[in-house]
């Protein structure tokens, strides 16, 4: 099975900050990676698919990059609505797996 | 507007069975592969099972293989998860989701608690 490792687990930031979250796959997954945002008590929401494609309706301050085993999710200027937990997930081969999550909290 | 509504979650004793359902609207259901993803309270997300649009192909996480059965009724736009031999560690919120480039659309989730 392909393991996904996110870092950091928790990130403290302020409104306006640029934020970067890293996701590493235990083997190459090409660009078959998605990023999700989840707020407490809510279902996850997809932000990015195929490593760098922005889902319709997602603000352009979110961006994704990477291929193979190293990926990043960046938020160019953190907004109050962006404090949440973020997950990466590969869809290269079954079983699909998620990273353990990165919580972006108020500094 | 696409809507996915899960139902069937309950408190159940270890060893028991439960059937979850997910009703879809606003989407041509048969065109989408579908999945179940679960989340233990306060923990991360775990993919559970997926099924192709035509139901020809099914996939399971090792943690549920042999105990859970995913199925769908395209005529009713409904996805199901038959959960047998439930364990305490199956306690979670179960989400259904459309499945293509990852999990695009999600339901609100249904809670399953396995406890004696």
Note down pLDDT in tens along chain A; length 107 residues. Answer: 999 999 999 999 999 999 999 999 999 999 999 999 999 999 999 999 999 999 999 999 999 999 999 999 999 999 999 999 999 999 999 999 999 999 999 99
Contact A95, B61 (CB under 8 A): yes
Rounded to an integer, what distance in angstroms lies between the CA atom of residue B66 and that of residue B5? 26
pLDDT of residue B113: 98
Task: Report pLDDT for A62.
Answer: 98
- Please give, rounded to a whole number of angstroms, the shortest distance from the CA of B62 to a CA of chain A: 8
Task: Name the token pair of A100.
Answer: 């353990």
Q: Which pLDDT does position A7 carry in this prediction?
A: 98
**Chain A: residue whose CA lies nearest to B5:** A43
Q: What is the pLDDT of residue B46?
A: 98
Buried b (16+ CB within 10 A) or exposed e, A45-73: bbbbbebbeebeebeeebbbebeebebbb
- Contact partners, residue B21, CB within 8 Å, separation at least 6: B6, B7, B8, B78, B79, B80, B81
Confirm or reject contact between B62 and chain A (CB < 8 A): yes
Q: What is the pLDDT of residue A72?
A: 98
Nearest to B103 among A46, A50, A101 (CB): A46
Contact assignment for B47 to A101 by CB distance below 8 Å? no
pLDDT of residue B95: 98
Could B108 and A49 be called an inter-chain contact, meaning their C-beta atoms sit closer than 8 Å?
no
The CA distance from B115 to B87, in Å, is 8
Q: Which residues of chain B have pLDDT under 50?
A: none
């Amino acid at each position: 099975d392909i393991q996904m490792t996110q870092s950091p687990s928790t990130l403290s930031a302020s409104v306006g900050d640029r934020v970067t979250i890293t996701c590493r796959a235990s083997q190459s997954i090409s660009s078959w990676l998605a990023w999700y945002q989840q707020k407490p008590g809510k279902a996850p929401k997809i932000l990015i698919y195929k490593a760098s494609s922005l889902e319709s309706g997602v603000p352009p301050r979110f961006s994704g990059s990477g291929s193979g085993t190293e990926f990043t999710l960046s938020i160019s200027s953190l907004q109050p609505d962006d404090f949440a937990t973020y997950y990466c997930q590969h869809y290269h081969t079954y079983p699909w797996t998620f990273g353990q999550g990165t919580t972006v909290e108020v500094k | 507007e696409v809507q996915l509504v899960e139902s069937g979650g309950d408190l159940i004793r270890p060893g028991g069975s439960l059937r979850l359902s997910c009703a879809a609207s606003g989407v041509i259901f048969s065109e989408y592969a579908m999945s179940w993803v679960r989340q233990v309270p306060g923990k991360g997300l775990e993919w559970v099972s997926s099924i192709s649009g035509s139901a020809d192909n099914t996939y399971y996480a090792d943690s549920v293989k042999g105990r859970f059965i995913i199925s769908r009724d395209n005529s009713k736009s409904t996805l199901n998860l038959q959960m047998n031999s439930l364990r305490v560690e199956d306690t979670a919120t179960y989400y259904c989701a459309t499945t293509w480039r990852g999990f695009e659309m999600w339901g609100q989730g249904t809670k399953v608690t396995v406890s004696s």
